[in-house]
C-alpha cells in the first residue's frame, strides 16, 4: 500500500465518523421546542367541592374501666381472704378480713370509759341542780356555783371525747373487714392469711400495700390513639365501631373522653370509648381497632386516577395552551375512586386523566378528549 492510498483511507474514516455523529444529534428531540412531536390523547377530571365524611382509624387496647389494688384499712395480720383470682364480686361483698381481737378489746375498754363519763356527768348535773336550789335561799356563794357549773361542763366534754374515741374504735372494728368498692372481678391476689399488713409505707417491710386487685370490666374502656391531624374532627359522643380480636362482630360505641395531650412519639391523640361487657366475654388487654365517624365537611375532591406520584410527593398535570403542565399538590385518601385535594389546586381545575396519563411529560402536546365519569354526589368514604 503506497502513501497516497493510506491518506485516502484515513479521509474516508473521518467522513464516516462525522456522519455517525450527525445522525445521533438528529435523534434527540426536545418536546418543548419541536412542534412535530405527536400529541398525546387525554381526558380531564374536574376538581369539585362536595361533602365528605372520612372514617378516622385509631388503634389501641381494651382496658378495665377501673382497676384498684385494695389493701387493709387497719394495721394487723390478715386473718381471712374470702376471694380468689377470677372471683366475680358485687359492690359491698366482703373481700378479706384483718384480725380483730385487739380492736374488739379496745372497743370494750372505750365503752366502759363512755359509761364512766356519763355517770360523772350525771353526778355533776345533780350537784349543780342541788346547789342552784340552795343558792335561792342564800346558802351557797356565787363562786361555789361557778365552780360547780364548770365541773358539769368538764364532765360533758369528757363524755364527748370518750364517745368520739368509741366511735373511732367501732369504725376500726368495722374496717377490719374490707368490702368491694364496686362490682368487678378479682384479677390478682398478692397476700395470703398470716401476713402482717400496714396501712403505711406500702405495706410492712416495703411490700405491696394491696391484698387483692379488683377490676371493673363491665363496661370496658377502649383506649385508642388517633392521628393528631384529625383532632379538630374529634368530638364527645362521636359514633365509633370497635373491632376486637376474637370478637366476630364490631361493637358500636360513642367517644366518652378526648385527651387533649398529644403523645410526643406517635403524634397521636388518646380517645376513650366505653363498651358493655355484661357476660365478661371480652377480656382486658385485647387489641382493638376503632373506626370513628366524624360529621360531613366540605372538601375539594377529584378522581383518584388523575393523581400521580408516591405518598408525600403527589403531582398532576393540567393543560396549558395545549401542552401538559406538571403541578405539585397535597392529597388525602378518601376511597379507591376519589381523593381530597388539600392544597395548591382551586375548585373547578381540570386535571388531565385517562389511560395515557403515565406517558405525559412537562411540555408534551396533549389532545383533550371525552372527560371521565361525571361528578358524583357527596361521599361517605369507607376504609
How many helices (H) and strands (E) are present in the chain, helices listed first? Answer: 3, 21
Q: Which three cell numbers stand for residue 27?
A: 435523534
Mean pLDDT estimate for the chain: 85
Strands 56-70 and 212-227: antiparallel
Q: Which three cell numbers stand for residue 324?
A: 401538559
Task: Please report the domains of the chain, with CATH numbers, ordered by start residue.
Answer: 40-53+297-368 (2.40.420.20), 68-96+179-213 (2.40.50.100), 101-175 (1.10.287)
pLDDT digits 0-9 by tens, 49-78? 999 888 899 999 999 999 999 999 999 999
Average pLDDT over residues 329-336: 84
pLDDT digits (tens, 9 = 90+) for 2-31: 444 544 444 544 444 444 444 443 333 454
* Residue 112, H or E segment: helix 101-136
What is the average pLDDT across 360-381?
69
Tens of pLDDT, residue by residue over 93-140, are 999 999 999 999 999 999 999 999 999 999 998 988 888 877 666 677
Which phi and psi angles does 287 have, rounded to 5°? Answer: -75, 140
Model confidence pLDDT, tens digit, residues 257-303: 999 888 888 889 999 999 999 999 999 999 999 999 998 889 999 99
- Look at strands 297-303 and 338-343 and give their pairing: antiparallel
Q: Please name the residues in contact with 250: beta carbons below 8 A apart, sequence gap of 6 or more.
A: 241, 242, 243, 291
d(CA 117, CA 72): 32
Strand extents, DSSP E, 248-295: 251-262, 268-275, 287-293
Of 365, 283, 372, 289, give the one whose Cα is nearest residue 320: 365
The pLDDT value given to residue 19: 43
Q: Give one DSSP letter per residue of 288-343, joined into a string.
A: EEEEEEPPPEEEEEEEGGG-BS-TTS-EEEEEETTEEEEEE-EEEE-SSSEEEEEE
C-alpha cell at 25: 444529534
**pTM metric for this prediction:** 0.65
* Cβ proximity of 50 and 295 under 8 Å: no
pLDDT score recorded for residue 141? 77
Is the separation of the CB atoms in 267 and 227 below 8 Å? yes
Residues in Cβ contact with 89 at an 8 Å cutoff, skipping those fewer than 6 apart: 83, 95, 180, 183, 184, 185, 186, 214
- Count CB atoms within 10 A of the CB of residue 313: 8
* CA–CA separation, 356 and 191 (whole Å): 74
DSSP letters, 174-237, are HHTEEE-SSSEEEEEE---TT-EE-SSTTSGGG--S-SEEEEEEEEEEEEEEEEGGGGGG--TT
- Residue 83: asked if its preceding bond is cis (omega within 30°), the reply is no
User: Rounded to whole angstroms, how far apart are CA atoms 314 and 329?
Assistant: 6
In this predicted structure, the answer to whether residue 208 has a pLDDT above a threshold of 80 is no
Amino acid at each position: 500500500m503506497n502513501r497516497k492510498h493510506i491518506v485516502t483511507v484515513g479521509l474516508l474514516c473521518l467522513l464516516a465518523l462525522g456522519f455517525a455523529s450527525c445522525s445521533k444529534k438528529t435523534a434527540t428531540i426536545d418536546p418543548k421546542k419541536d412542534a412535530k412531536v405527536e400529541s398525546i390523547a387525554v381526558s380531564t377530571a374536574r376538581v369539585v367541592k362536595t361533602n365528605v365524611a372520612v372514617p378516622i382509624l385509631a388503634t389501641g387496647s381494651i382496658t378495665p374501666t377501673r382497676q384498684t389494688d385494695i389493701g387493709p384499712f387497719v394495721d394487723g395480720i390478715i386473718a381471712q381472704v374470702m376471694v380468689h383470682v377470677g372471683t366475680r364480686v358485687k359492690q359491698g361483698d366482703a373481700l378479706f378480713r384483718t384480725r380483730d381481737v385487739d380492736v374488739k378489746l379496745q372497743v370494750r375498754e372505750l365503752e366502759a370509759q363512755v359509761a364512766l363519763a356519763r355517770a360523772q356527768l350525771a353526778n355533776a348535773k345533780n350537784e349543780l341542780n342541788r346547789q342552784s336550789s340552795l343558792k335561792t335561799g342564800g346558802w351557797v356563794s356565787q363562786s361555789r356555783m361557778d365552780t360547780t357549773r364548770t365541773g358539769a361542763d368538764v364532765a360533758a366534754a369528757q363524755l364527748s371525747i370518750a364517745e368520739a374515741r368509741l366511735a373511732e374504735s367501732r369504725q376500726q372494728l368495722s374496717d377490719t373487714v374490707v368490702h368491694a368498692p364496686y362490682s368487678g372481678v378479682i384479677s390478682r391476689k398478692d397476700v395470703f392469711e398470716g401476713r402482717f399488713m400496714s396501712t403505711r409505707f406500702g405495706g410492712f417491710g416495703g411490700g405491696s400495700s394491696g391484698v387483692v386487685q379488683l377490676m371493673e370490666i363491665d363496661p370496658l374502656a377502649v383506649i385508642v390513639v388517633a392521628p393528631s391531624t384529625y383532632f379538630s374532627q374529634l368530638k364527645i359522643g362521636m359514633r365509633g365501631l370497635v373491632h376486637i380480636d376474637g370478637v366476630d362482630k364490631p361493637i358500636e360505641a360513642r367517644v366518652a373522653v378526648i385527651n387533649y395531650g398529644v403523645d410526643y412519639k406517635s403524634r397521636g391523640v388518646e380517645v376513650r370509648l366505653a363498651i358493655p361487657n355484661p357476660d365478661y366475654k371480652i377480656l382486658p388487654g385485647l387489641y382493638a381497632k376503632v373506626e370513628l365517624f366524624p360529621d360531613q365537611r366540605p372538601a375539594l375532591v377529584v378522581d383518584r386516577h388523575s393523581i400521580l406520584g408516591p405518598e408525600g410527593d403527589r403531582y398532576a398535570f393540567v393543560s396549558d395552551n395545549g401542552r401538559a403542565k406538571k403541578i405539585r399538590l397535597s392529597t388525602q385518601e378518601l376511597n379507591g375512586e376519589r381523593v381530597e385535594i388539600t392544597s395548591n389546586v382551586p375548585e373547578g381545575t381540570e386535571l388531565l386523566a385517562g389511560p395515557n396519563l403515565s406517558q405525559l411529560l412537562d411540555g408534551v402536546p396533549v389532545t383533550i378528549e371525552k372527560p371521565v365519569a361525571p361528578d358524583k354526589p357527596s361521599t361517605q368514604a369507607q376504609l
